Structure 1
Amino acid sequence: MTPHLTTHILDAATGTPAPAVDVTLSAASGPVIARATTDRDGRAGLGPELLESGDYSLTFATGAYFAARGIASFYPHVTVTFTVEVADDGTSRHYHVPLLLSPFAYSTYRGS
């Protein structure tokens, strides 16, 4: 089973994937749906095969990632909130939420 949602974290300061980052997927109403840790390529899949329509948040434990490397950083965690859409026939395209990360900045976008 492939999760409906995946992520990939790139450490922009080093130009390498960010392994061992804890990531939490939550519904907008608060309940945690899934937890994962990025693999050595900085990737993780979260959640069920299909998420319901609605708003969700991914929270990345960025402070712990940098602390483990002895690097000072500004953001203890990064939370990205996004909307999942499911068609009337129950289908939905895959959601990929990448994070480009450095100790004092981050960016994200709707991946494919």
Structure 2
Amino acid sequence: MNFIAFRLLTVSRISSDFRANILSRSRGIAWSATGSATSEFDVVVVGGGVIGCSTARQLKINNPELKVALLEKEDHLAFHQSGHNSGVLHAGIYYAPGSLKAKLDV
């Protein structure tokens, strides 16, 4: 299962074996893990952080026929906040209903 990634990044085999390959800066063009570049997509996901990668992955798993593009401005995935934390998404589910923490979700 593959999808298109732009600029310096190619993400291939978007299943349990999820990996990223960095392209050189001089090759900052659209590139496909299947070997063919295209400029038409059904869905474009902006941002290669944990949310962007998860969204692109799930879209492709649920809809293999979709042409999905992942846009990332940096040289590799999770360069900013996603790469500097534990990777856990906090949803506030541990707080007692009605408590101030649950209300403010802090």
TM-score normalised according to structure 1 size: 0.30
Q: Which structure shows the higher helix fraction?
A: 2
- Indicate the structure with greater strand content: 1
TM-score by length of 2: 0.31
